[in-house]
Structure 1
Amino acid sequence: MLKINMKEIEALKTLLSSDVDLGKDEDILRHLKKRLTPTGKVELFIDGASNLQKKTAGLGGIFYRKGVELFTFAEFRPNLTNNEAEYGALIFGLEKAIELRLNQIDIYSDSELVVRQIMGQYKVKNERMAVLHKTAHDLLDEFEQWTMTHVRREKNTRADALSKEGIQIGS
């Protein structure tokens, strides 16, 4: 996760104010710009979970760059099936990646259904899923390059834990 120190915050304030000579803050701003410029590919591991009895669902995900954790999320959503929660995690993760100005992404999910639907190997038959599928593809179109790969559940334990944490947020 990007952390901005006090000098960088002050430099941003200076930059955003009108008619100001950057002077002494120029080096700080150059360094900040370098830190904010997306470089290289990121990995996103996602998972969704649902509790149909309680009508709750959770979305979880982790962004990595070169093995270093950049950002995590655990979000609550009501009234979603497990497959809808899987799509929800994908959509939320893609929205975050766009917000963070990441333009190359490798996505990993333990939902074979979602991966195969996104990759065009399975048809989307359910109306609610079709809407989520279209939303995900619209977001994927924003990326310069992307891949999506199915992983075994054992390789996705962190995202799984975050999705279950998301359920707890709403309980």
Structure 2
Amino acid sequence: MKVVVHVDGGSRGNPGPAAAGAVVSTPEGEVLDESAETLGVCTNNVAEYRALLLGLARAKELGAREVEVVNDSELIAKQVNGQYKVKHADMKPLHAAALDVLRGFDAWKVRTVPRAQNSHADALVNQALDAARS
């Protein structure tokens, strides 16, 4: 089974209170699963990696063998695709974990889209952050 996983991570402040969101759908757009979690205080980039890991875990749980990850973080996509090096110490273990999980799929791809095309995952992040404040 192939799935598309939209992921987004965000922090209010950098670092600040953070959350991750993921939406798993069929290639035709039917939503199979959505998930969000608060992350405590971290940077936006760490939150983006945590969102990637969340989305990959949800895809695995659904039995996906192929995954196309869509996010709005060019940095994360380019690091995972090997175009950029990972220099920040907090991101190195997250990067390694993401690659480890991705290797468990028969095929994978990570690409970026403009923020407006990732609105469902972004909304999950904001809902999680708003709920944590109340």
Moved over 2 A (4+): 52-55
Aligned residues: 132
- For the residue of structure 2 that corresponds to 1:79, the secondary structure is strand
Q: CA RMSD in A?
A: 1.4
- Show the counterpart of 1:9: none
- Show the counterpart of 2:87: 125
Determine the C-alpha separation between the residues in 2 that align with 1:58 and 1:154.
18
Alignment map for 1:22-41 (pairs within 5 Å): 40-41=1-2
Q: Which of the pair is proportionally richer in helix?
A: 1
Say which of 80, 98, 105 aligns to 1:136.
98
Gapped regions of structure 1 (runs ≥ 5): 1-39
- Show the counterpart of 1:46: 7
When Rg is computed on C-alpha atoms for both structures, the one with the higher figure is 1
Gapped regions of structure 2 (runs ≥ 5): none
Residue 142 of structure 1: how far off its partner (Å): 0.8
Residue 120 of structure 1: how far off its partner (Å): 0.5
Determine the C-alpha separation between the residues in 2 that align with 1:85 and 1:54.
10
Q: Which of the pair is proportionally richer in strand?
A: 2
Q: Is 1:149 aligned to residue 111 of structure 2?
A: yes
Give me the identity figure in percent: 38
- Show the counterpart of 2:39: 77
Q: Is 1:63 aligned to residue 24 of structure 2?
A: yes
Residue 74 of structure 1: how far off its partner (Å): 1.6
Determine the C-alpha separation between the residues in 2 that align with 1:43 and 1:109.
11
* Alignment deviations for residues 19-41 of structure 1 (CA, whole Å, 9 cap, x no partner): xxxxxxxxxxxxxxxxxxxxx31
- For the residue of structure 1 that corresponds to 2:79, the secondary structure is helix
TM-score (norm 1): 0.73
Determine the C-alpha separation between the residues in 1 that align with 2:58 and 2:93.
19
* Equivalent position amino acid for 1:119 in 2: N
